[in-house]
């Protein structure tokens, strides 16, 4: 089922759409605590978080915390997880009762944005992670021959009821956030070669806590080569950031992260082969945290078969080498085998899905470290009932590295749902929800939840939109002094050419 364009170049294993090849490139970044699929538009680098300037006594307490103080709460936390999960799904699926009118123009799945189709995937994590990376960007870019550049600028005002995500003595503040940047592409020989790049900056200024002011940077570079018999994709992203790291700690962690990945796809008849290679490097800028600096090298060979013209079945073997720069006892390897399926469902292919299930064995070099052996899972479903109504559901289970001296890993269990509806030609709305629980190797259990809602209004000229958003974030842990709750109210304006 390999497809060729009008020039005879192989463009993907499409199952009638190039989107399904993007599903095959789905990858997980263990440190960031979210599932990420390769994209050339990763906009935004986080939200209000705690300062990384810590005294030694407080830091040592954070690094060694984690032993559960009340193990009997485990069943209660699990019960809350399932209750909130089903409430989230019920809340979002209420939208299906109203059928929106069909659009008069545009594609069946998405409208063209510049030289590439709309990006389909988002980050998945916690504390402000249900961010949108496709629905609110209307600019088509500045085009000149083979070049296309999409600059943007936005201002956001946040009122945060718990800036430091503390259990008590909550501190509120008003934060002004300025985001700016640009994505660019150079498409040669009608798509045979594609080069892409991006630069993104985020600055935050706190009205009451000026020591928290900071600026984060993200630099991106990517490329594609689409030949008759194979396809190659390369992507690299470097972040210099002070945002929350998606770990068990709620404070800011100043660090540098670099993620380099490559994917080669080779079709042969009804079958195809994919090999995914990635390297992740984490470097904390605080010398006290040097013991958690690490690199992860990952290789994933994958074999697939076309099952009809709408489905692909796959098997993959994932090996990851974990290497700490100064903590050799934390070094180890992870081996994972998984079966997967991806494709389209329903009349008109309005449902896009992928699901992977398997088993991972995570062994550390030191016998003093707890090893992991258990079930892993990742999936996402996108239902586009029309151009005006979209529903997303994602679920993941995977182990990630911990940043505690008393803990080796955390098993992340996450479910996120999002429903987007275009209410009028200019007004759009969204309901979103996230729940998850983290199961630590030392027995600690954390339960997270984050419901939210958002409105967007496109201004005349289609180069700017106003938005407002509300999110409620919470964590309940059986480790002492680790609970928190937060209300976040946001409003802003975004410009994009």
Query: Which of 248, 236, 231 is closest to 12 using CA atoms?
Result: 231
Residue among 125, 128, 126, 167 at smallest CA distance from 484: 167
Decide if pLDDT at 231 tops 70. yes
**What are the pLDDT digits (tens) for 8-26?**
333 333 333 333 333 333 3
Q: How confident is the model at residue 77 (pLDDT cuts 50, 70, 90)?
A: low
Select the more confidently predicted residue: 109 or 334: 334
What integer pLDDT is reported at residue 121 of this predicted model?
27
pLDDT value of residue 480:
86
pLDDT category at 335 given cuts 50, 70, 90 is very high
Which string of DSSP letters, residue by residue, matches 139-158?
---EEETTEEEEEEEEEEEE
Q: Answer whether residue 108 shows pLDDT above 60.
A: no
DSSP letters for 35-97: EE---S---------B-S---HHHHHHHHH----S-GGGHHHHHHHHHHHHHHHHHHHHGGGG
Average of pLDDT values for 65-77? 51
Residue 87 — pLDDT band, cuts 50, 70, 90? low
Residue 377's pLDDT is what?
94
285-319 CB burial, b ≥16 within 10 A, e <16: eeeebebbbbebbbebebebebeeebbbebebebe
Of 7-11, 38-42, 400-404, 441-445, least confident by mean pLDDT is 38-42
Which residues on neighbouring strands pair with residue 181, listed in sequence order? 152, 200
Rounded Cα gap, residues 242 and 237, in angstroms: 16
| Model confidence at 282: pLDDT above 50 | yes
Q: Evaluate if residue 268 carries a pLDDT over 80.
A: yes
Q: Concatenated DSSP letters for 394-413?
A: EEEEEEEEEEETTEEEEEEE
Q: How confident is the model at residue 449 (pLDDT cuts 50, 70, 90)?
A: very high
Highest averaged pLDDT of the listed ranges 20-29, 38-47, 417-426: 417-426
**Torsion of Cα atoms, 108 then 111 then 117 then 120, to 10°:** -70
Between 4-13, 206-215, 243-252, 396-405, the lowest mean confidence (pLDDT) is in: 4-13
Rounded to 5°, angle at Cα 472 from 467 and 477? 150
For 224, the token pair is: 């594609």
For residue 485, pLDDT over 90 is answered with yes
Q: Do 398 and 423 touch, CB atoms closer than 8 A?
A: no
**pLDDT for the residue numbered 103:** 27
Contact between 303 and 314 under an 8 Å Cβ cutoff? The reply is: yes
Instruction: Give CA–CA dist 391/93, Å, rounded.
Output: 8
pLDDT of res. 190: 82
Distance (Å, whole) CA 300 – CA 74:
35
pLDDT of 206: 96
> Could you tell me the domains of the chain?
3-496 (2.40.160)
Does the pLDDT of residue 408 top 60, yes or no? yes
Quick one: pLDDT band at residue 347, thresholds 50, 70, 90?
Answer: confident
User: What is the reported pLDDT for 142?
Assistant: 87
Between residues 449 and 51, which one has the greater pLDDT?
449
Where does residue 460 rank: exposed (0-12), middle (13-18), buried (19+ CB within 10 A)? exposed
Write down the pLDDT at residue 309: 83
Stronger pLDDT, 28 or 305, i.e. the higher one = 305
Is pLDDT of 135 > 60?
Answer: no
Please tell me whether residue 7 adopts helix, strand or coil conformation. Answer: coil
- Tell me, what's the pLDDT at 76? 59
In the predicted model, is pLDDT for residue 91 greater than 70?
no
**Across all residues in the chain, what is the average pLDDT?**
76
Q: What pLDDT band is residue 3 in, cutting at 50, 70 and 90?
A: very low
Contact 401, 371 (CB under 8 A): no
In this model, does residue 468 exceed pLDDT 50? yes
Judged by DSSP in three states, 121 sits in coil
CA distance 428 to 113: 18
Confidence at residue 483, expressed as pLDDT on a 0 to 100 scale:
92
Q: Which residues contact 478 (CB under 8 A, 6 or more apart)?
A: 68, 69, 70, 71, 73, 74, 77, 444, 445, 446
Lowest model confidence (mean pLDDT) among 247-261, 295-309, 442-456, 470-484? 247-261
The per-residue pLDDT for 396 is: 94
In this prediction, residue 345 carries a pLDDT of: 87
Residue 126 has pLDDT above 60, yes or no: no
């Amino acid at each position: 089922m390999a497809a060729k364009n009008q020039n005879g170049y192989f463009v993907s294993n499409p199952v009638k759409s190039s989107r399904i090849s993007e599903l095959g490139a789905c990858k997980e970044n263990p440190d960031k605590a979210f599932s990420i699929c390769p994209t050339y538009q990763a906009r935004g680098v986080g939200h209000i978080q705690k300062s990384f300037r810590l005294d030694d006594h407080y830091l040592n307490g954070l690094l060694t915390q984690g032993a559960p103080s009340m193990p009997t709460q485990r069943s209660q936390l699990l019960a809350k997880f399932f209750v909130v999960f089903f409430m989230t799904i019920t809340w979002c699926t209420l939208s299906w009762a109203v059928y929106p009118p069909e659009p008069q123009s545009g594609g069946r799945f998405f409208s063209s944005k510049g030289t590439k189709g709309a990006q389909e995937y988002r980050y998945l994590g916690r504390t402000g992670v249900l961010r949108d990376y496709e629905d609110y960007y209307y600019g088509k870019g500045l085009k000149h021959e083979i070049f296309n550049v999409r600059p943007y600028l936005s201002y956001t005002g946040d009122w945060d009821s718990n800036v430091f995500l503390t259990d008590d003595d909550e501190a509120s503040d008003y934060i002004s956030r300025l985001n700016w940047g640009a994505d660019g592409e150079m498409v040669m020989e009608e798509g045979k070669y594609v080069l892409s790049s991006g630069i993104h900056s985020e600055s935050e200024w706190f009205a009451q806590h000026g020591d928290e002011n900071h600026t984060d940077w993200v630099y991106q570079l990517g490329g594609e080569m689409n030949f008759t018999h194979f396809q190659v994709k390369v992507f690299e992203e470097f972040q210099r950031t002070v945002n929350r790291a998606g770990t068990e700690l709620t404070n800011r962690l100043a660090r540098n992260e670099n993620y380099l990945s490559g994917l080669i796809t080779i079709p042969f008849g009804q079958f195809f082969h994919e090999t995914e290679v990635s390297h992740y490097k984490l470097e904390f800028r605080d010398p006290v945290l040097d013991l958690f600096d690490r690199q992860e090298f990952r290789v994933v060979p994958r074999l697939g078969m076309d099952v009809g013209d709408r489905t692909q079945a796959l098997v993959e073997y994932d090996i990851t080498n974990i290497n700490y720069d100064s903590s050799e006892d934390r070094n180890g390897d992870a081996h994972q085998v998984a079966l997967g399926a991806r494709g389209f469902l329903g009349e008109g292919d309005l449902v896009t899905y992928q699901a992977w299930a398997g088993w991972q064995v995570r062994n550390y070099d030191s016998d003093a470290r707890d090893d992991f052996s258990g079930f892993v899972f990742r999936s996402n479903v996108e239902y586009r009932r029309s151009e005006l109504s979209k529903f997303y559901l994602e679920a993941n289970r995977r182990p990630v590295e911990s940043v505690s001296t008393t803990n080796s890993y955390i098993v992340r269990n996450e479910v996120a749902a999002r429903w987007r509806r275009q209410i009028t030609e200019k007004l759009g709305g969204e309901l979103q929800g996230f729940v998850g629980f983290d199961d630590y190797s030392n027995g600690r259990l954390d339960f997270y939840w984050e419901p939210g809602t958002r409105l967007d209004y496109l201004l005349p000229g289609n180069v700017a939109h106003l938005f407002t958003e509300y999110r409620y974030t919470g964590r309940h842990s059986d480790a002492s002094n680790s609970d928190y709750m937060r209300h976040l109210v946001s409003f802003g304006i975004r410009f994009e050419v």
